[in-house]
Amino acid sequence: QVQLVESGGDLVQPGGSLRLSCAASRSTVNYYTISWFRQAPGKEREGVSCISSSAGSVVYAESVKGRFTISRDNAKNTVYLQMNSLKPEDTAVYYCATGPRSRVGTCLKSSAVDYWGQGTQVTVSS
């Protein structure tokens, strides 16, 4: 079992930036592709981005491409999501997720991961 803890969510004005962190309890995650998902009120959970174990491959949803950057520091068992040019429609609870079944090709599908964090709230509003 792996515990994931997200942090960094906040209230920010449109056009602002935030950096989310996802810290894992075990270094095992360094062998896994790790994903970020988000869920807005009344909407389905959607995949935002993912990064392969070596950070050699990254994937972004079209809605965040060019604005969000995913990275990881395996020495700290941590994955980051840098979010720039935030829009009100980015408002959601953001979750990181991973597992031994995680693959870059399916990393934006919630059915392809096993372990979830508790989420961190991001609110974009003036």
For the residues of 5-32, what is the DSSP string, one character each? EEE---EE-TT--EEEEEEESSGGGGGS
User: What pLDDT sits at residue 1?
Assistant: 85
Please choose, from the candidates 43, 4, 65, 41, the residue with its C-alpha nearest in 3D space to the C-alpha of residue 122: 41
**Tokens 């840098």 appear where?**
82
Do residues 116 and 5 make contact, with C-beta atoms less than 8 angstroms apart? no
Phi then psi dihedrals of residue 68, to 5 deg = -105, 145
Listed as ranges, residues in the chain with pLDDT below 50 are none
Q: Using the 8-state DSSP alphabet, how is residue 125 labeled? A: -
Q: Is 44 exposed, middle or buried (0-12, 13-18, 19+ CB in 10 A)?
A: exposed
Q: How far is CA 75 from CA 15, 51, 65, in A?
A: 31, 15, 27
User: What pLDDT sits at residue 87?
Assistant: 98
User: What pLDDT sits at residue 114?
Assistant: 94
